[in-house]
A and B are shown apart, each in its own frame.
Chain A
Amino acid sequence: MGIKINKDLCTGCQSCLSVCNYGGITIINNVAAITDECTLCGACVEACPVGAIEIEMEEIATEGVDVSQYRGVWIIGEHYNNKIQNVVYQMVGKGRELADKLQVNLTVVLLGSKLEEELKELSQYGVDEIIYVKSPILKDYCTELYVNILTDLINKHKPEIVLIGATPIGRDFAPRISKRLNTGLTADCTGLDIDTKTRNLLLQTRPTWGGRIMATIRTPHSRPQMSTVRPGMFKIPEKIEKQPQIKKIEMDINEKDIITKIVKIIKKEKKQINLEDAEIIVAGGRGVGSKENWKIIEELAKKLNAEVAGSRVAVELGWIDQDRQVGQTGKSVAPKLYIACGISGAIQHRVGIQCSDIIVAINKDPNAAIFEMAHYGIVGDLHKVVPALIEELKRLKSEEELKK
């Protein structure tokens, strides 16, 4: 097993060198050679223009997993204060698409205590079945209970795909389930599709290397194929008329059997909408210049009824709170409109905004990287452009009011 280089085909072009993140490949006598650092990630295989690099895989012995027994797409629904999270609805949209391609049912599984009202809402989005596990103790999240209950349900019903929101909670329990079931789990997916050409495998695309590279990952030999799905990536579908079958399972759980307990929950003061759910975001970066100047960013946001965000620099300089940071080390956002003011657009920032529908960049440096991805770019001093934009918005608004 390993990477094999066909010396007759290799032209020594070095294309493989630049894609290798580990120093795992080198050129010796004009021919590529694999070093000890190789992690078998396969990046060079894709990069080779002449097909000289091959990854050899031993056929993995699949012990007793008959993949044909598994059927159906499942979504595990996270809720908070008896409210089902947006990411669940987003996954329902995508899950419906996957289930239709596979011609199977779409099921949402919920563990909770008082979700009856929420089930009515969820029932309107084209789900075939809802499994609702009910117990007073499931009011709050608990790793052990989620892992035990969900593993049992999966073993019993054998879904072929299980999607979980890539929220902290989803990322807390999903890995334990995948380990217990000895099946593959792909983290933080931003794209999902079915490879109908082959064996109907789930194609799970995710950013890696802080978004510099996208990787599509498959789970060929074990089931279910599990993914956590990044919030904000998929659109919430339209409501349709279709009544799902609801299976309610009442469970009697003894609190004493739980090892890890919640001692208390401390509320943080919450003033704003989560950035991930925002429709419009106005963000500022180094170019804003000072905390005093930051006010115009806030003013523009107010005018647009938008949320305010910042680049890492803006957070480090104390102009805005850490939880408002957008980018690789902050939040990934997917608003309809993202206005970047004085943000140069380091790759870490661009990764976090790549799912925005429309990106507007205002920057005085015409070579700023942000312009590469901006749909509308304004080269200019934000201290002049932003106030002018606020004025224009005011003017448009009064114009509209006159029309009425």
Chain B
Amino acid sequence: MKVFVCIKQVPGVAEVKIDVTTGKLIREGVPSIINPVDKHAIELALQIKEEQGAEVIALSMGPPQAEEALREALAMGVDKAYLLTDKEFAGADTLATSYTLALAIRKILQESEKNEKYLVICGLQAIDGDTAQVGPELAEELNIPQITYVQKIEFKGDKIIAESALRQDEVMVMETRLPALITVLKEINIPRFPTLIGIVDAYEKKEVVYLDTRQLNADKRKIGLTGSQTQVWKIFVPQQKGEHIKLSGSVKEMVKQLCQYLKEDKIL
């Protein structure tokens, strides 16, 4: 069995601060990281490998610097890593990204033994785009079933049984067969840290294979900006609406004023 993990390198957005006066992002010194929930996807793949044997393959599409993210995945214990990088991939929306990832998965499957079963694992969503679309679109492109929002998974032969948080007040237990794609939540596990040996191996024994448009035999109408059906038309910093009143006086006075205002606003 092969387990594919799709990861994304993102700027460590939690550490990004905003310049209060200009409202702009302060990017200096912000490191690039593996998208946080993708680490849980890697952990799950490694646990599957340990429990029942599988080859774990990490994939990422991005600029050459995304190799760092794949090296980190290798250090955690991933067997092979592929970086899908090409200037022509730039500007891809989720449609173009899922097309490109699917090409790589198909290529790797074609080069391995016939009819090998496989599972694709993605993190639910990336912290920069927050779309959660690449996973399901990749499943559609590969024409395989999906279970999203997975918080627990079990194998039963060729079948997987997954607990999904698709509903707020319920756990939906779902069953499907391999090959399949799942997207996972942080709750599924706690990702391991790379060991020292793992880090050494990641740089000395393992390699990150680069794949470009030509190697993937990609249809240029389906990749990058050209293959994207959504276009960013405008980008702006959100504006605050309404006026801001700071109340003053003693605690009692301030509280009285507040209730008065809330009455005027017809809330109380």
- Asked whether B147 lies within 8 Å of A175 as measured between CB atoms, the reply is no
| Residues of B contacting A73 in the complex (Cβ-Cβ under 8 angstroms) | none
| Residues of B contacting A22 in the complex (Cβ-Cβ under 8 angstroms) | 11
With contact pairs A38-B90, A266-B173, A396-B268 given, residues A184 and B25 touching in the complex (Cβ less than 8 Å)? no
- Asked whether A208 lies within 8 Å of B98 as measured between CB atoms, the reply is no
- Asked whether B251 lies within 8 Å of A380 as measured between CB atoms, the reply is yes
| Residues of B contacting A337 in the complex (Cβ-Cβ under 8 angstroms) | 262, 267
- Asked whether B130 lies within 8 Å of A184 as measured between CB atoms, the reply is no
Interface hit among A86-94, A155-163, A243-251, A366-374: A366-374
- Asked whether B235 lies within 8 Å of A389 as measured between CB atoms, the reply is no
- Asked whether A175 lies within 8 Å of B137 as measured between CB atoms, the reply is yes
- Asked whether A185 lies within 8 Å of B174 as measured between CB atoms, the reply is no
Q: Mark B212-241, 1 if CB is under 8 A from A, else 0.
A: 000000000100111011111111111010
> Is A392 part of the contact surface with B, judged by Cβ < 8 Å?
yes
Residue in B63, B133, B246 whose beta carbon sits within 8 Å of that of A187 in the complex: B133
- Asked whether A36 lies within 8 Å of B63 as measured between CB atoms, the reply is yes
> Is A61 part of the contact surface with B, judged by Cβ < 8 Å?
yes
A-B contact pairs, 8 of them (CB 8 A): A18-B25, A171-B132, A209-B25, A217-B233, A265-B170, A280-B267, A354-B238, A385-B254
Instruction: Count A/B pairs, Cβ under 8 Å.
Output: 276
- Asked whether B146 lies within 8 Å of A372 as measured between CB atoms, the reply is no
Q: Mark A1-31, 1 if CB is under 8 A from B, else 0.
A: 1100000000000000111111100000000
Bound complex: CA A43 to CA B237 (Å):
11
| Residues of A contacting B112 in the complex (Cβ-Cβ under 8 angstroms) | none
| Residues of B contacting A299 in the complex (Cβ-Cβ under 8 angstroms) | none
- Asked whether B130 lies within 8 Å of A188 as measured between CB atoms, the reply is yes
| Residues of B contacting A357 in the complex (Cβ-Cβ under 8 angstroms) | 265, 267
- Asked whether B237 lies within 8 Å of A259 as measured between CB atoms, the reply is no
Q: Mark B97-108, 1 if CB is under 8 A from A, else 0.
A: 010000000000
- Asked whether A388 lies within 8 Å of B64 as measured between CB atoms, the reply is no
Apart from A46-B235, A175-B134, 17 more pairs, CB < 8 Å:
A21-B27, A37-B65, A40-B225, A46-B234, A178-B229, A182-B229, A183-B229, A185-B94, A213-B25, A220-B231, A222-B229, A259-B177, A260-B175, A263-B175, A360-B262, A373-B240, A375-B243
- Asked whether B251 lies within 8 Å of A187 as measured between CB atoms, the reply is no
Residue in B130, B132, B171, B247 whose beta carbon sits within 8 Å of that of A377 in the complex: B247
- Asked whether B22 lies within 8 Å of A18 as measured between CB atoms, the reply is yes
| Residues of A contacting B147 in the complex (Cβ-Cβ under 8 angstroms) | 260
| Residues of A contacting B166 in the complex (Cβ-Cβ under 8 angstroms) | 141, 168-169, 172
Q: Mark B168-199, 1 if CB is under 8 A from A, else 0.
A: 11111111110010000000000000000000
| Residues of B contacting A41 in the complex (Cβ-Cβ under 8 angstroms) | 91, 232, 235
| Residues of B contacting A298 in the complex (Cβ-Cβ under 8 angstroms) | none
A397 → B minimal CB distance (Å) = 10
Closest to A80 in B: B167
> Is A256 part of the contact surface with B, judged by Cβ < 8 Å?
no
Closest to B148 in A: A172
> Is A214 part of the contact surface with B, judged by Cβ < 8 Å?
yes
> Is B93 part of the contact surface with A, judged by Cβ < 8 Å?
yes
Question: Chain B interface: which size bin?
Answer: 35 or more
- Asked whether A172 lies within 8 Å of B259 as measured between CB atoms, the reply is no
Bound complex: CA A335 to CA B137 (Å):
33
> Is A176 part of the contact surface with B, judged by Cβ < 8 Å?
yes
A234 → B minimal CB distance (Å) = 15
> Is A105 part of the contact surface with B, judged by Cβ < 8 Å?
no
Closest to A205 in B: B234
B65, B87, B169: which has the most chain A beta carbons within 10 Å?
A: B169
Bound complex: CA A215 to CA B134 (Å):
18
A144, A175, A270: which has the most chain B beta carbons within 10 Å?
A: A175
- Asked whether A214 lies within 8 Å of B235 as measured between CB atoms, the reply is yes
Residue in B141, B168, B235 whose beta carbon sits within 8 Å of that of A215 in the complex: B235
- Asked whether A40 lies within 8 Å of B90 as measured between CB atoms, the reply is yes
> Is A82 part of the contact surface with B, judged by Cβ < 8 Å?
no
Bound complex: CA A220 to CA B230 (Å):
7
- Asked whether B235 lies within 8 Å of A39 as measured between CB atoms, the reply is no
- Asked whether A219 lies within 8 Å of B235 as measured between CB atoms, the reply is no
> Is A143 part of the contact surface with B, judged by Cβ < 8 Å?
yes
With contact pairs A358-B265, A385-B251 given, residues A261 and B174 touching in the complex (Cβ less than 8 Å)? yes
With contact pairs A188-B131, A380-B251 given, residues A358 and B231 touching in the complex (Cβ less than 8 Å)? no
- Which 6 A-B residue pairings sit nearest by Cβ, starting from the closest? A40-B91, A184-B229, A175-B136, A184-B230, A187-B131, A179-B140
> Is A378 part of the contact surface with B, judged by Cβ < 8 Å?
yes
| Residues of B contacting A153 in the complex (Cβ-Cβ under 8 angstroms) | none
B39-82 residues with Cβ-Cβ distance < 8 A to A are 63-65
With contact pairs A1-B226, A260-B145, A354-B238 given, residues A265 and B173 touching in the complex (Cβ less than 8 Å)? yes
| Residues of B contacting A23 in the complex (Cβ-Cβ under 8 angstroms) | 27
B115-147 residues with Cβ-Cβ distance < 8 A to A are 127-137, 139-141, 145-147
> Is B157 part of the contact surface with A, judged by Cβ < 8 Å?
no
Bound complex: CA A280 to CA B228 (Å):
41
A82 → B minimal CB distance (Å) = 14
A210-232 residues with Cβ-Cβ distance < 8 A to B are 210-222
Q: Mark B5-30, 1 if CB is under 8 A from A, else 0.
A: 00000010110111110101111000
